[in-house]
């Protein structure tokens, strides 16, 4: 399983092998919410409010069956 370094506590963070840029992960050591920002090598950064907004929009549209961004 690929790993990255948590920018908050400098511990290893395990990232799923099929993760994509923009996926969200948590640091098991300090509990920080992180976003995958690079894949080769795997890099993570602290989750921002922009990440929260994107996730809420995606979840809302997924719940109601929207399959495109024409809304």
Q: Please, what's the b/e burial string for 25-40 (b: 16 or more CB within 10 A of its CB; e: otherwise)?
A: bebeeeebebbbeeee
Domains of the chain by residue range? 3-63
Peptide bond into 42 cis (omega under 30): no
Q: What local confidence, expressed as pLDDT, does residue 38 receive?
A: 97
Quote the pTM value: 0.68
φ, ψ for residue 31, nearest 5 deg: 85, 5
CA distances in angstroms from 64 to 52, 57, 58, 61, 71, listed in the order given = 19, 11, 10, 5, 12
What is the per-residue pLDDT across 13-57, written as a single tens digit (0 to 9) for each? 999 999 999 999 999 999 999 999 999 999 999 998 776 555 545
CATH topology of domain 3-63: Rubrerythrin, domain 2 (2.20.28)
């Amino acid at each position: 399983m690929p790993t990255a370094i948590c920018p908050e506590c400098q511990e290893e963070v395990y990232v799923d092998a099929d993760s994509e840029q923009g996926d969200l992960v948590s640091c098991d050591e300090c509990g920080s919410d992180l976003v995958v920002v690079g894949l080769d090598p795997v890099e993570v950064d602290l989750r921002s409010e922009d990440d929260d907004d994107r996730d809420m929009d995606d979840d809302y549209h997924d719940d109601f069956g929207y399959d495109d961004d024409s809304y």
